Amino acid sequence: MTGRMRSVLIAGFLLAAAMLASLLAGAKLLPPSSLLDLLQGRDSETAVILWQLRLPRLALGLVVGAALGAAGAIIQAATRNPLGDPGLLGINAGASLAVVTGSGLFGLAPTMTVWLASGGAALAALAVHAVAGAPRGPSAPIKLTLAGVAVTAFCLGIGQAIALADPERFDLVRNWRVGALSGDGLALLPAIALPLLMGVALAALLAPRLNLLALGEDRAAALGLSVGWTQAGSLLAVVLLAGAAVAAAGPIAFIGLAAPHIARRLGGADQRIVLPLAALVGAALVVVADTLGRVVVPPAELPVGIVAALIGAPVLATLARPRRSEA
């Protein structure tokens, strides 16, 4: 067994453990034997809890986490920016603002907000590039990150203004705004399926090209890669994946940042491995964050977005510290 295969197996095992914990933990702790109720199709309260609450929530967490993890991996590879994250680069905030505006202000149905979220994410991504002055070279990551901070702040400010203008209407999206799997996001799964599939297909096509891009834009171009199209396709994939994830569960920060870093530690630098592995790790992180949020202050819960931020902040701090070899 190769080291890479072992890493993938470890990641898969951790995801399976997180899934099991997500099914059994919550305001009511279920014994492992309760899973038999689920398998035997018994009409018990436990079976109802598993079928109606835990499984749909788990499914939503897996989908959202995988989408954010893959989006993070694509954006980090395409911009060659280790701080690339749909959250840090303003993409989540743009999608969030579009949903808040659409559903909070115009009362649009949740299924409509999926494409709205993707549109908001695209606009935010373009705004970040414009604000950063379409940067190239070694300073590009920091310029993009700073522009992302500015666009995020702008989107959050507008969102707050809308919230203050009509608190009652805005109440409908208050929980979603902090990133939560507790609502009826599962009902959105059919609506987000198409952008997600499109994003995944695009990511699969892009993976080998992103490997070339990792050599540097000039070398990649010399090897026959259309750098502009690859970056545009990457942006589209990120917009589709992150937009769908935000529409379903709200803006969840740091998953898109942390998952690719963990995936690279586990699987090396080949984007054909990193992209699916980042999706796997992202799914595990969201499921773990959601499960933790359900057990730390029962019967109340901390939304997954808040727990992810609490976990992600030290991760970001660790990444920002220079390694010994760089010191």
User: Least distance from C-beta 156 to other proteins, angstroms?
Assistant: 20
When the beta carbons of 177 and 261 are compared against other proteins, the nearer one is 177
The DSSP annotation for 30-42 comes to --TTHHHHHHHT-
Which two tokens mark 251?
């803006």
| Binding residue for other proteins, selected from 171, 197, 229, 318, defined by CB under 8 A | 171
Contact positions with other proteins (CB under 8 A) in 12-51: 26-28, 45, 48-49
User: Least distance from C-beta 34 to other proteins, angstroms?
Assistant: 11
Choose one: 3-11, 148-156, 177-185, 261-269; the region binding other proteins (CB under 8 A): 177-185
User: Least distance from C-beta 54 to other proteins, angstroms?
Assistant: 8
User: Least distance from C-beta 51 to other proteins, angstroms?
Assistant: 8
Contact positions with other proteins (CB under 8 A) in 283-302: 298-301
Question: Which letter does DSSP use for residue 258 in this model?
Answer: H
User: Least distance from C-beta 187 to other proteins, angstroms?
Assistant: 11
Judge whether 240 and 199 are in contact, CB under 8 Å: yes
When the beta carbons of 9 and 187 are compared against other proteins, the nearer one is 187
Using rule CB under 8 A, residue 169 touches other proteins: no
Q: Tally Cβ neighbours within 10 Å of residue 269.
A: 10
Residues contacting other proteins: total by CB under 8 A: 21
Residue type for 116, please?
L
User: Least distance from C-beta 39 to other proteins, angstroms?
Assistant: 19
When the beta carbons of 173 and 212 are compared against other proteins, the nearer one is 173
CB crowding 126-149: b at 16 or more within 10 Å, else e = ebbbebbeebeeeebbebbbebbb
Task: Give the side-chain half-sphere CA count within 13 A for 315.
Answer: 20
Choose one: 88-96, 114-122, 152-160, 166-174; the region binding other proteins (CB under 8 A): 166-174
User: Least distance from C-beta 185 to other proteins, angstroms?
Assistant: 11
Q: Tally Cβ neighbours within 10 Å of residue 100.
A: 27
Task: Give the side-chain half-sphere CA count within 13 A for 17.
Answer: 8
When the beta carbons of 61 and 148 are compared against other proteins, the nearer one is 61
Instruction: Name residues whose C-beta falls within 8 Å of residue 63's C-beta, 6 or more positions apart in sequence.
Output: 189, 192, 196, 245, 248, 283
| Binding residue for other proteins, selected from 17, 134, 172, 197, defined by CB under 8 A | 172
| Binding residue for other proteins, selected from 174, 215, 268, 270, defined by CB under 8 A | 174
| Binding residue for other proteins, selected from 182, 221, 310, 311, defined by CB under 8 A | 182
Return the closest-CA partner of residue 55 out of 38, 37, 69, 32: 38
Instruction: Name residues whose C-beta falls within 8 Å of residue 181's C-beta, 6 or more positions apart in sequence.
Output: 57, 60, 61, 64, 249, 286, 290, 304
Residues that bind other proteins (CB under 8 A): 26-28, 45, 48-49, 52-53, 171-172, 174-176, 180, 182-184, 298-301
